[in-house]
Chain A
Amino acid sequence: MSAGLREEVDSNPLWYHTLDLAPDVTTPGHFDLRPIVDRLPWPDVRGKRCLDVGTYDGFLAFELERRGAREVVALDIPDHRDWDWPVEIRDLGPEYLAAVAGPEKGVGFRIAREALGSNVEKVDMSVYDLDPGRLGTFDVVVCGSLLLHLRDPLRALEAIRSVCSGEFMSSEEVDLRLSVKHPRRAVARLDGTGEMMQWWVPNVAAHKRMVFAAGFEILRSIRPYSDAFGVGHPAHRANLRGIHRRAARILLTDSTGVPHAALLARPRV
Chain B
Amino acid sequence: MTSELLDIQADVETVPVWYHSIELGAGIVTPGYYDLRPIVDELPWPDVRGKRCLDVGTYDGFYAFELERRGAAEVVAVDVADPHDWDWPPDAREEGPAGVERATGGQRTLGFEVARRVLRSAAERRRMTIYELSPETVGRFDVVVCGSLLLHLRDPLRGLEAIRGVCGGSFLSVEEVRLSLSSPFGREPVAELNGSGEQLQWWVPSVSGHHQMLLSSGFEIERTAGPFAIRFGPSHPPAAVRLSDWRSLRRRLVQRVLAGAEGVPHAAVLAKART
Chain A interface residues (CB < 8 Å from chain B): 86-88, 151-152, 154-155, 158, 161, 178, 185-193, 199-200, 202, 206, 209-210, 212-215, 268-269
Contacts and interface: CB of A to CB of B under 8 A. Distances in A.
Interface residues of B, number: 29
A192 B195 contact: no
A158 B209 CA distance: 24
28 contacts: A87-B217, A151-B158, A154-B155, A154-B202, A161-B90, A186-B193, A186-B194, A187-B181, A187-B193, A188-B193, A189-B189, A190-B216, A192-B212, A193-B216, A202-B193, A209-B193, A209-B195, A210-B193, A212-B196, A213-B89, A213-B195, A213-B196, A214-B90, A214-B195, A215-B91, A268-B91, A269-B90, A269-B91
Name the residue in B89, B164, B209 with the highest tally of chain A Cβ atoms < 10 Å from its Cβ.
B89
A185 B190 CA distance: 12
Contacts of A202: 193
A187 B216 contact: no
Given A189-B189, A210-B195, A215-B90, A152 B212 contact: no
Contacts of B262: none
A141 B62 CA distance: 47
A189 B274 CA distance: 22
Contact of A213 (B155, B164, B190, B194): B194
Given A87-B218, A158-B90, A215-B90, A190 B155 contact: no
B191 A190 contact: yes
Interface in B208-237: 209, 212-213, 215-218
Name the residue in B91, B205, B274 with the highest tally of chain A Cβ atoms < 10 Å from its Cβ.
B91
Given A154-B155, A190-B189, 12 more contacts: A87-B217, A151-B155, A154-B154, A155-B155, A178-B190, A188-B193, A189-B190, A190-B213, A192-B157, A202-B193, A212-B195, A269-B90
B274 A187 contact: no
